[in-house]
Amino acid sequence: MSAPDQVLAALPGGPALGARLASWVRAAVDVLPIRIFSLQARMVGAFAMVIFLTLLLTGGAVVWLIQDYRIRIAVDHLSDLAVISTFISRQMEDQALLPDEIASFVSGQVQGEAQSVLVLDEAGKVVAQRGRDDDDQGPDLLGRKLTIPTEAAAASSRGGIFGARARLGAVGPPVKVWEEPSGSSGPGHLVMLVTADLKSLRNDPAGSMRRAMPGSRPASRPGAGTDRPLPGGDRQMPGSGRGAPGPELSRTSTDMARMLASPSKYQIVLATPSSDVRSAWHELAPRLSIAAVIAFLISVAVASALASTISRPIARITEAARRVADGDLSQRVPGDGRDEIAQLANTFNHMATQIAQSQQSLRDFVADASHELRTPLTSIQGFAGALLDGALTGEEGQTQAALIITEESRRMSNLVEDLLYLSRVEALRPNARQEKVSASTIVNEIVRRLTHLAEVRNLSVNVVGSSGPMITGDPGQLDHLVGNLIQNAIKYTPDGGTITITTGHESPASRASAGARGFIRVHNTGTVIPEADLPHIFDRFYRVDKSRARVAEGSGLGLAIAKEIARRHGGDIQVTSTPATGTTFTVFVPCPEEPPRTNVRKPYAKTGSQSPISSSA
């Protein structure tokens, strides 16, 4: 039993429950507006991935920037309090208060802004510590000796989160910020310590006090506290943020300068867990997450709508293609616009039209071929049956029947051969075989083979252009093409008429230029093709003289074969016919730059054989 089967068997409902779950999943998938493995689903998934990564990177950048800003605010805030607390401590020290009293009073003044207020003696030992309240004393640093960093060491340690003080520059009060292990929560927990730089305070007590006041800070440095009374009087503690110091503050600064000039036994240090400073982004994460989820859902909905504008036309084209495959060739899809979808729709419509035309041509071809084969086959069956039944007893009648059977068999053979040849020509790739041959050589060779047919009917055959152009193509197929046209001219020219065959370039200016075309023109006098028949003259089994359709030689495929050969060679064939000038067929074939005369290739010289000329025209 497989693992999934074992899990299903262990469920209370067993395999039956698994079957119900599977049916529910299938039903849910069926009603989804987007199929899971559809093009629209994949596009929406790709959009969603890009949107998710964009939101993730943007959110991370926002959190990092806000985190850095919050750290600067926290450090700046504690720095202001550290300077003010130092002035308070010196005044209380002059009043001979004990370290515990100093720590307790300063802790009440900062009102929980720092987790702990430490009082250090001259050796750097913590002699007093007060927390926010009795239940939150902070890390136990009492009795520990703290090493306050020198100015150089403090500057070098500001590359982390405490680099905020370095970035503040001269606008902030002079302080030192460093970290110490807390000792109460494990080796990985640190406490951030902030104390005033006594040397800077002694050098410029008034300036230091002024920089610590919120009213003198730039907008990026918010206020540090509220109005608090100084011990020993009703003067206001500088920290209200209500403007520059007045006369009372000036007298206080003078007093502080006098007090700082004398040695101090104690130093105030504000302590707060580093994790509290670093985790300021926790407050922003829930709100940012909610905003990101809302933005993601809206973006996915918009992406789904955009994807549907692509998938819906493709779905229509797919459905139309399925119906065409089922035999409905009338299917078309709208193809408005210039984008790739519109081009695909127009290409599909063109393909469907071509398929419909090909199917119709195939049906017509089968019907015509069946009709053409039925006539000689009926004659053969009739006369063969008469011979078998003994209806033809005389020698003359039997001989006549045998001649008719032979003639009809020859007609059927020619028809089948032409059908096979036409199918082979259509199956070949365009320009499948490329050789340079002389148009004049091809014409002269065909005229030599058919001269006896023209002499029997006293026809005059003239060839114009003994140095005809070099044309590119398959020599055998080109011979077949020109042979059909010349044989047609011999067949339909009245006795004593004239046939003129001309070879040359399409225009003298393009004789040796790229893309030039050579031509072979076959003109005969007498016979005229009615104007109504000219558009159909190259159709399969089409005959101009319907009354002679059953007795005329040929299969009715000669001109269709000639047209297909010309098209396969990248050329064309045209026909004009008027009572005054007669009928002219002109074949145009690509003509490359003419090589030296010594390179002219005689066709069929390689095999020594001649291409047979079909009488199928």
What's the per-residue H, E or C state across 541-603?
CCCCCHHHCCCCCCCCCHHHHHHHHHHHCCCEEEEEEECCCEEEEEEEEECCCCCCHHHCCCC
Residue 196, H or E segment: strand 190-196
132 Cβ neighbours under 8 A, 6+ residues apart: 107, 112, 115, 116, 138
- Residue 111: the pLDDT is 66
- Residue 255: the pLDDT is 64
- Residue 199: the pLDDT is 66
- Alpha-carbon distance 443 to 447, whole Å? 6
pLDDT tens sequence across 549-607: 444 455 677 888 888 888 888 888 999 998 888 899 999 988 765 544 444 444 433 33
- Residue 391: the pLDDT is 78
Residues of the chain with pLDDT under 50: 3, 7-8, 29, 31-32, 157-172, 186-188, 215-251, 510-513, 547-552, 595-617
Residues 617 and 558: beta-carbon distance below 8 Å: yes
- Residue 553: the pLDDT is 56
Residue 11, CA distances (Å) to 3, 4, 17, 593 in order? 13, 11, 8, 85
Rounded to 10°, the helix 39-94/247-261 angle is 70
- Alpha-carbon distance 452 to 450, whole Å? 6
Residues 594 and 470: beta-carbon distance below 8 Å: yes
Question: Which of 447, 489, 460, 434 minimizes the C-alpha distance to 601?
Answer: 434
Provide the token pair at 467.
């140095």
Question: Which of 578, 421, 579, 594 minimizes the C-alpha distance to 514?
Answer: 594
- Residue 453: the pLDDT is 87
Whole-prediction pTM value?
0.45
- Alpha-carbon distance 115 to 110, whole Å? 10
- Residue 104: the pLDDT is 86
Residues 144 and 126: beta-carbon distance below 8 Å: yes
In order of their start, the domains of the chain are 61-283 (no CATH), 329-427 (1.10.287.130), 431-599 (3.30.565.10)
